[in-house]
Amino acid sequence: MSVETHEGVHRHPAPTGFIRKYIFSIDHKVIGIQYIMLALAAVVVGMVMSLLMRLNLSWPTTNWPILETLFPSGAPGGVMTPEFYLSLVTMHGTIMVFFVLTTAPQGGFGNYFLPIQIGAEDMAFPVLNMLSFWVTLVGFIVILLAIFVEGNQGLGEWFAALGPSFRGGSGTVGPIGGWTGYAPLSALGRIAGPGQGAGMNLWAISIAIFCVGSLLGALNFITTLLNMRTKGMSLMRMPLTCWAWFTTAVLALLSFPVLLGAGILLLLDRIAGTSFFIPGGLYVSGILSGTNPNFPLHTGGSPILWQHLFWFFGHPEVYIAILPGMGATSHILATFARKPVFGYRAMVFAIFAIGLLGFFVWGHHMFISGMSPYSSIAFSILTLSIGVPSAVKTFNWLGTLWGSRIRFSVAMLFALGFVSLFVSGGITGLVLGQSSLDLAMHDSYFVTAHFHLVMGVASIFGMFAATYFWFPKMFGRFMSESLGRIHFWITFVGVYAIFVPFHAMGIRGMPRRFSSFTEYEFLRNVDPLVMLVTVAAIITIAAQFLFYFNLFWSMFKGKKAGDNPWEATTLEWNTTSPPPHDNFAGVLPTVYHGPYEFAVPGAPKDYVMQTDLEAEVPGENGHNGHKH
């Protein structure tokens, strides 16, 4: 494959107008920033929702006048209704999983840095890339609409013109179903209670749109990585970030279509009267199916089918969220440890193993669903097997740090935080992955603790690390390290203070998705923990404003950064900060070395860039053909 074909096919001139440059841009760097901005907006919505949930759980009967002002029907008298709380649960999960954890790590940083790190001028299909962002944005607008259509009477009425199932205005901020939207609750429509009308339709539509956007993105990532690597960039010379983004794209390509199909079937059940997920003979809110126009005849559907389809997507989704964070962590650890990644090949195999096994473990979400108890045994053993490549990654991160010379930048602190949190969150998978122990732990706060630490917080730490690390490249300026350190310390301690007590609550038996725990005597002794978590959450959330301030302030006022401020080795540090429109100003780099050549004996500096023609790196003789 020659460099010339790349240029012939993919070069597009730099746009001049504002709209083509910053809005409808086909430049992967702009699109990457757009994805990051989308995630930054979405995460605020999700975070505020979690704060509201904590208020309700800690002070279930206290009157908060501000709540009544903001949500007159959701919090009459300043106290949240149960349906309002449950819609917060649903939307917090949906927005965080789809529009934060799936957009920023892959669509954001992946889009920006994958082409540069492999030495390409852009993605393989720049217009498709633009389209995938805009489709995703439409998905986000639709999910916001789901908030307002349920929260606002007028809008809810207006939507009713589309059909009876589209009526909203139930005084919530969205549907009630959890981010997993289990049928038949999610499929029955308004008869099943508040939050089952227009909001649920828009929820399903939003997810379906999101799936399309992610699919387009995944195709682009895979094609770009396979076809557009620059001269000398063999697969095993790619940074681990690229392996992670590539594997994530493969997972997305194979799992999102299943969710797309499931979402469409759910919509048909809701709107067209089909029965994919609704069995016969249901009696809901005093009405038997088929005896009333509000509840048409349904028969023959399977609620468990929804769970299989959802989790066939849902489990790989966990890895879609975390793999880019793993990639960024490996990359940043090596850079600031000034040491090659320990066991590069093992890391690549581990990423692949996690991706592959990730498709065979979805049943561990369904141990108590009523599916065959024999399949649970298989799913259980496969699930614990996936712990092996995860542990291998942890060992290799520790191996990378061993004998290193660490520079404690904020990016490095967050990468180290990622390792700590990934271990803490991941290790409890040993409990939940056993079908027998899941019997009691299922749907408890123990589960909430597990996935928030490993998929939520660890992934976000990966993204924080990536932001502090790549910001100088993206904007030509540094973020403030002092503000960043304060942000790190509060967040690191804060997330542990929030999520470690969740485990104890779960062991005690506290179920998830309860708007109040005052009904149950056996849970009285966890009240102090509930309060501790709320206080920690308020402090941690407040600290995130430091990050936002730092981010936007530094874009304009941060200290100027050079081309390679961290003394790193990979291709993104071979170009200007920020890179020109075509990334390398018309001359694609040639690669001579592996991605993490730090502390090479005999080299003049403690790092050898991938493009360094002169450097001699031990053990590379087989690959040095390009030199001559």
Partner 1 sequence: MGRVLAVIIWIITLLSIAMFFNRKWWFPEGISQHTPAYDRQFLITILVVGLSFAAAQLALGWAVWKFRDTGKPGDRAVYSHGSNRLEVVWTVITAIVFISLAVMGQSVWASLRLHDAPPGSYTVTAVAQQFQWNFHYAGADNKFGRTDPTFIDDGSLNFIGLDPEDAAGKDDSVTAALAIPVNRPVELRLRSKDVIHNFWVPQLRFKQDLVPGMEIKVNFQANKVGKYELACAELCGQLHFKMKSYMLVLPEDELSALQALPQEQFQARVAELLNKYPLETN
Coil vs helix vs strand at 60: coil
Should residue 51 be labelled a site residue for partner 1 when binding is judged by CB under 8 A? no
Q: Which of residues 252-281 bind partner 1 (CB under 8 A)?
A: 279-281
Q: Which of residues 548-587 bind partner 1 (CB under 8 A)?
A: none
Widest distance between CA atoms in the chain? 84
Query: Could you tell me the two tokens for 447?
Result: 């589960």
The residues that bridge with 560 in the sheet, in sequence order, are 477
Of these, 619, 621, 622, 625, which contacts partner 1 (CB under 8 A)? 619
* Angle at 183 (CA atoms; ends 178, 185), nearest 5 degrees: 70
Separation in Å, CA 309 to CA 207, 301, 442, 450: 14, 14, 19, 22
Residue type (1 letter), 597? E
**83 or 572: CB nearest partner 1:** 83
Rounded distance, CA 272 to CA 283, Å? 19
Inter-residue contact 128 to 220 (CB < 8 Å): yes
**Least distance from partner 1 to the Cβ atom of residue 612, Å:** 16
DSSP letter at 177 equals S
Rounded distance, CA 228 to CA 440, Å? 50
Q: Which of residues 295-354 bind partner 1 (CB under 8 A)?
A: 301-304, 337-346
Rounded distance, CA 162 to CA 155, Å? 12
**250 or 526: CB nearest partner 1:** 526
Coil vs helix vs strand at 560: strand
Inter-residue contact 83 to 197 (CB < 8 Å): no
Q: How far is CA 452 from the centre of its chain?
A: 11
Of these, 68, 443, 563, 616, which contacts partner 1 (CB under 8 A)? 443
**128 or 377: CB nearest partner 1:** 377
Rounded distance, CA 78 to CA 73, Å? 10
Should residue 525 be labelled a site residue for partner 1 when binding is judged by CB under 8 A? yes
Residue type (1 letter), 261? G
**Least distance from partner 1 to the Cβ atom of residue 330, Å:** 12
The 77-96 site mask, x for binding partner 1 (CB under 8 A), equals: -----xx--x--x-------
Bond into 578 cis (ω within 30): yes
**Least distance from partner 1 to the Cβ atom of residue 285, Å:** 7
Should residue 543 be labelled a site residue for partner 1 when binding is judged by CB under 8 A? no
**Least distance from partner 1 to the Cβ atom of residue 369, Å:** 5
**Least distance from partner 1 to the Cβ atom of residue 179, Å:** 11
Per-residue exposure over 390-428, b if at least 16 CB sit within 10 Å of its own CB, e if not: bebbbebbeebbeebeeeebbbbbbbbbbbebbbbbbbb
The 417-436 site mask, x for binding partner 1 (CB under 8 A), equals: --xx--xx--xx-xx-xxxx
Task: Give the total of residues touching partner 1 (CB under 8 A).
Answer: 124
Per-residue exposure over 468-484, b if at least 16 CB sit within 10 Å of its own CB, e if not: bbbbbbbbbbbbbbebb
**35 or 367: CB nearest partner 1:** 367
**Least distance from partner 1 to the Cβ atom of residue 125, Å:** 35
Should residue 15 be labelled a site residue for partner 1 when binding is judged by CB under 8 A? no
Q: How far is CA 75 from the centre of its chain?
A: 30
Should residue 406 be labelled a site residue for partner 1 when binding is judged by CB under 8 A? yes
Of these, 6, 92, 331, 442, which contacts partner 1 (CB under 8 A)? 442
The 470-509 site mask, x for binding partner 1 (CB under 8 A), equals: ---------------x---x--xx--x---xx-xxx-xxx
**41 or 391: CB nearest partner 1:** 391
Scanning 64-72, 117-125, 510-518, 549-557 for contacts with partner 1 by CB under 8 A, the matching segment is: 510-518
The 185-224 site mask, x for binding partner 1 (CB under 8 A), equals: x--x---xxxxx----------------------------
**37 or 504: CB nearest partner 1:** 504
**3 or 423: CB nearest partner 1:** 423
**12 or 407: CB nearest partner 1:** 407
Q: Which of residues 375-394 bind partner 1 (CB under 8 A)?
A: 376-377, 380-381, 383-385, 387-388, 391-392, 394
Inter-residue contact 566 to 573 (CB < 8 Å): yes
**16 or 482: CB nearest partner 1:** 482
Of these, 356, 437, 531, 539, which contacts partner 1 (CB under 8 A)? 437
At 609, give phi and psi (nearest 5°): -70, 155
**110 or 506: CB nearest partner 1:** 506
**Least distance from partner 1 to the Cβ atom of residue 503, Å:** 7
> Which residues, 6+ apart, have CB-to-CB distance to 422 below 8 Å?
322, 326, 329, 390, 394, 454, 458
**443 or 563: CB nearest partner 1:** 443
Query: Could you tell me the two tokens for 625?
Result: 């053909």
Should residue 97 be labelled a site residue for partner 1 when binding is judged by CB under 8 A? no
Rounded distance, CA 168 to CA 154, Å? 9
**Least distance from partner 1 to the Cβ atom of residue 336, Å:** 8
**Least distance from partner 1 to the Cβ atom of residue 438, Å:** 8
Rounded distance, CA 32 to CA 38, Å? 10
Per-residue exposure over 226-257, b if at least 16 CB sit within 10 Å of its own CB, e if not: eebbbebbeeebbbbbbbbbbbbbbbbbbbbb
